[in-house]
A and B are shown apart, each in its own frame.
Chain A
């Protein structure tokens, strides 16, 4: 079963989120992740990165096509984060959802406005301090990949790429596995 979201629904969700304002910017709109189509808004301050996410996911079957709509909001300070589901419903028609979504988005924004760093509950698996240590170790060992493009470079600046290649490695490169080499 191929799930195709009606264009007017997708446009409606994107239009709603684009007009939230208050410093929020839409990030990667309408992308499909693991079967859900997502729209995300993000806002960054000196202490927090905040997000609003609308996700639409098929939840029925061919005979009874349903979709789940979920609005979640959260914030992150680099060490801890918190995310809450603000609204969720399983429906067979998304038009009524589009009608009530603005009020739900407003509720989510009100909740985010009250959220401070002290409210963040879930620790990231790699604390910032250890992350910095590992990044510095990688840079010192010369095992840093130099990526191309992108508007935001990795936080550890990679060393200059060697002539004729972009991979800067000290260790001997492992020979490609037979299957990988054959395909590559």
Chain B
């Protein structure tokens, strides 16, 4: 079992254990149960959520972003993120994440299994504010 598999496994089991059952991948975002960030944080030990970024997205969300975002509780190495988040495995995989304070996010939908993948994701229908960025408030490079 790879480290990424183990990290994903313990995250899914953590979510199951607090009643945040990941929905199947084919459930639309609108059909996912909704919580406040504080509700999710309070049962997950204030676990942060991670917004993976491709290189072309660096600097775009440092003031927050009001649109829909997909996030994961699980940190992945660059070489694992494509497989576990089922992203196109092209020239520029996600090399950065924004670390988000779950309790400071207004609305969270999910969790849901990644489409035909191994990972788990949440959806932030209203995005996040700059206050939700964990200090220092900029993208962390994945190595």
A-B contacts, 11 listed (Cβ < 8 Å): A49-B26, A72-B116, A74-B116, A75-B116, A134-B17, A145-B19, A156-B21, A167-B39, A176-B103, A177-B46, A179-B134
- Chain B min CB distance to A27 (Å): 5
In the complex, per-residue mask of A71-90: 1 if CB is within 8 Å of any chain B CB, else 0? 01011101001110000101
Are A138 and B13 in contact, CB atoms less than 8 angstroms apart?
A: no
A145 in contact with B20 given A3-B56, A27-B26, A125-B5 (CB within 8 Å) = yes
Q: A33-B121, A143-B19, A154-B21 are in contact. List 12 more A-B contacts (CB 8 A).
A: A3-B56, A33-B70, A70-B90, A81-B116, A90-B90, A124-B113, A125-B5, A125-B118, A158-B19, A169-B42, A180-B104, A183-B132
Report if B73 contacts A (CB, 8 A).
no
How big is chain A's contact interface, by range?
Answer: 35 or more
A145 in contact with B43 given A28-B28, A137-B17 (CB within 8 Å) = yes
Which residues of A in the span 51-73 have a Cβ within 8 Å of any Cβ on B? 51, 53, 55, 57-59, 68, 70, 72
Residue count of chain B within 8 Å CB distance of chain A: 65
| Complex contacts, B28 vs chain A, CB 8 Å | 27-28, 151
| Complex contacts, B26 vs chain A, CB 8 Å | 27, 42, 44, 49, 51
Query: What 3 A-B pairs have minimum CB-CB distances, sorted nearest first?
Result: A147-B33, A35-B54, A144-B19
> Which of B39, B40, B45 has the most CB atoms of chain A within a 10 A radius of its CB?
B39
A58 in contact with B16 given A145-B35, A151-B31 (CB within 8 Å) = no
A152–B9 alpha-carbon span in the complex (Å):
24
- Chain B min CB distance to A78 (Å): 8
Report if A153 contacts B (CB, 8 A).
yes
Are B60 and A145 in contact, CB atoms less than 8 angstroms apart?
A: no
In the complex, per-residue mask of B89-125: 1 if CB is within 8 Å of any chain A CB, else 0? 0111010000001111000010001011110010000
A139–B13 alpha-carbon span in the complex (Å):
14
